[in-house]
Structure 1
Amino acid sequence: MSKQLESAAALPVTPPPDVAPPPKKQPYPFWLGGVAATIAASITHPLDLTKVRMQATGDKGMVQSLRKTVRTAGYRGLFDGISGTWLRQMSYSLCRFWAYDESKKIVGAGKDAPAWKLALAGSMAGGIAGFIGNPGEIMMVRLQGDFAKPPEKRLNYKNCIDGMIRMIREEGWSSLGRGLGPNVFRAVLMNASQLASYDFFKAELLKTSYFEDNIQVHVAASFAAGTVATTVCSPADVIKSRIMTATAAEGSSSLQVLKRSFQNEGAMFMFRGWVPAWTRLQPTTILIFVTLEQLKNLVDWTRAWQGAQ
């Protein structure tokens, strides 16, 4: 027996064959986030329309505002300004998802990154997207809020393209930057709270033994992210909407709008429309992230199918 062991030990050891490292996963198309956000915003557009009208015109009560819209413009009125929503999502949202992924690389926010790194990456993405998406934001707010105004004060834009052309012609190129400061500030808050908290909550849920990376986790993480984002962003969202809908005759600077709102309504005006904002942002956040995750799965499936051919 000992001789057999000695002979076996004397045999040359054949090194294992070289194992090729797994191929590096290709990045997802940069436009996936914009498409996911456009789909989600199209579905929840009536709620967003109601939120903007409550913030801009002082309508009290979400149900009352919805009824007013249907009474004055019919059920089609619930989708007033949908072209502005599409423009906004395919500029602002497309940019923020792309910039968030790139910012995470810059700050080194990997799979189990701490919350502060995710928030920093989200803030960087929000600043970039808020600047680039400001014209689309103006169009969305103006188109949504137009029919809530008296007929003599309406802008009557046909769609977002007509609105952009008319705004530049009538108000100058500088009008594209109206409300830029509050919009960028809100975008920083939104992305630091929504995108970062989604990644944070998703990672925390996956650390437990009760969850796997599936639609249940995506819904739970996005629900928590939507609540955080609504509360953090409400003041900036209200101020931004009022500045963008204000005319030069009323006084449209940030200071004038703030002073007028504080005098007329007190500090709680900054949380006006919180319930419709939460009601709108929750399904929107869930739809965005669930749709985005499914689009990523579709890309993975397509690449696997193409590789098998």
Structure 2
Amino acid sequence: MSIVTHPLDLAKVRLQAAPLPKPTIGKMITGILKNEGVVGLYSGLSAALLRQCTYTTARFGAYDLIKQKLIPKDQLTNMVYLLPSSMVSGAIGGFVGNFADVLNIRMQNDSALEASQRRNYKNALDGVYKIYRYEGGIKTLLTGWKPNMVRGVLMTASQVVTYDVFKNYLVIQLQFDPTKNTTHFSASLLAGLVATTICSPADVIKTRIMNAKDEHRSAMQILRTAVKNEGPSFMFRGWLPSFTRLGPFTMLIFFAIEQLKKHKVGMPKELKDKV
């Protein structure tokens, strides 16, 4: 999934970090192809894969574990249970995957910087080593962890909860078949739309903090400067590539989750017997 959606994620990060005047997504992608070639669309791919192996795995795994272990079986569609479960899961994912997110943003935006400002990480592992050895160690790897956890909370809550809610509505109110792929795709597309909109402000701020050379500025300082110079609309910069990426990504990930549940892959034996 990361390989398929990476060019859109790259365009989103470049748009979020780009100075005014703001380029369009078309001009951004055209510029990348012109200056860096097709390979340029996959800058930082190793970090993106590492991010999915940490951030995405942790938050979805934690959410399913909480649902299985802590939520009563007759309350699996109750927002009172689902919302706090998703928020805790998102916070866990945001913290666990923060170091990979720092690498992902820096590697994706590196080619857009002046030559003297580039970090030139060869790959994600080389980036982790260089940050740990020469660029501040653990403290730098945790750059932006607070807004990243906020984004993780917002993303997971708006993604997994809205998916469950939309799926439940489609099945109960519109008589969709809960086993059909059309039901899963419809619910996940709507969830992706909600998640993109809710998470955009935190995503933009997170990108700027992690990409900044001045790592001592707080999220509030960056927010105040951006609002002063660009207006409140800066919080939705890169919304279109975000949705273009997150919509299909959300559809693919929930389709994969539904298939794993259907075939009882990765479930403990006691839960398999109940399904």
Output the amino acid matched with 2:262: N
1:86 is matched with 49
| Deviating more after overlay: 162-171 vs 108-117 | 108-117
- 1:237 equivalent to 2:200? Answer no
**Cα 1:181/1:288, change in 2 over 3 Å:** same
What is the DSSP-based 3-state SS (H/G/I as helix, E as strand, rest coil) of the residue aligned with 2:184?
A: helix
1:168 is matched with 132
* Contact residue 106 and residue 211 of structure 2 kept, 8 A: yes
How much identity, in percent, do the aligned residues show?
Answer: 42
- 1:267 equivalent to 2:232? Answer yes
- 1:48 equivalent to 2:9? Answer yes
Alignment counterpart, residue 153 of structure 1, candidates 113, 117, 140:
117
Output the amino acid matched with 2:211: T
1:57 is matched with 18
Alignment counterpart, residue 102 of structure 1, candidates 56, 65, 70:
65
2:183 is matched with 217
Alignment counterpart, residue 166 of structure 2, candidates 201, 205, 222:
201
Matches within 5 A, 1:67-78: 67-78=30-41
Shift of 1:110: 4.9
Shift of 1:257: 1.5
* Contact residue 103 and residue 124 of structure 1 kept, 8 A: no
Shift of 1:219: 0.4
* Contact residue 75 and residue 81 of structure 2 kept, 8 A: no
> 1:182 and 1:93 mapped to 2: Cα distance?
16
1:135 is matched with 99
TM-score normalised by the chain length of structure 2? 0.90
| Regions of 4+ moved over 6 Å | none
| Root-mean-square deviation over aligned CA pairs | 2.1
1:66 is matched with 29
Equivalenced residues, count? 263
| Deviating more after overlay: 202-211 vs 82-91 | 202-211
| Deviating more after overlay: 40-49 vs 254-263 | 254-263
> 1:211 and 1:106 mapped to 2: Cα distance?
28
Alignment counterpart, residue 228 of structure 1, candidates 194, 200, 206:
194
> 2:99 and 2:200 mapped to 1: Cα distance?
20
1:306 is matched with none
Q: Which runs of 5+ in 2 are unaligned?
A: 269-275
> 2:227 and 2:263 mapped to 1: Cα distance?
49
> 1:209 and 1:167 mapped to 2: Cα distance?
52
Q: Which whole-Å deviations, capped at 9, do the CAs of 1:120-167 have from their partners, x for residues lacking one?
A: 111010111111111011111111111111222111100000001101
> 1:218 and 1:247 mapped to 2: Cα distance?
42
> 1:296 and 1:71 mapped to 2: Cα distance?
44
Q: Which whole-Å deviations, capped at 9, do the CAs of 1:30-67 have from their partners, x for residues lacking one?
A: xxxxxxxxxx2221110011001100124421111101
What is the DSSP-based 3-state SS (H/G/I as helix, E as strand, rest coil) of the residue aligned with 2:41?
A: helix
* Contact residue 109 and residue 118 of structure 1 kept, 8 A: no
Shift of 1:209: 5.7
> 2:206 and 2:41 mapped to 1: Cα distance?
22
Shift of 1:107: 4.3
* Contact residue 142 and residue 244 of structure 1 kept, 8 A: yes
> 1:124 and 1:233 mapped to 2: Cα distance?
16
Output the amino acid matched with 2:129: I
* Contact residue 115 and residue 197 of structure 1 kept, 8 A: no
| Deviating more after overlay: 289-298 vs 50-59 | 289-298
What is the DSSP-based 3-state SS (H/G/I as helix, E as strand, rest coil) of the residue aligned with 1:256?
A: helix
Shift of 1:208: 3.8
What is the DSSP-based 3-state SS (H/G/I as helix, E as strand, rest coil) of the residue aligned with 1:44?
A: helix
**Cα 1:181/1:137, change in 2 over 3 Å:** same
Shift of 1:204: 1.7
**Cα 1:226/1:109, change in 2 over 3 Å:** farther
**Cα 1:257/1:109, change in 2 over 3 Å:** farther
Output the amino acid matched with 2:92: I
Q: Which whole-Å deviations, capped at 9, do the CAs of 1:14-42 have from their partners, x for residues lacking one?
A: xxxxxxxxxxxxxxxxxxxxxxxxxx222
* Contact residue 230 and residue 278 of structure 1 kept, 8 A: yes
Output the amino acid matched with 1:183: N
Alignment counterpart, residue 178 of structure 1, candidates 143, 147, 156:
143
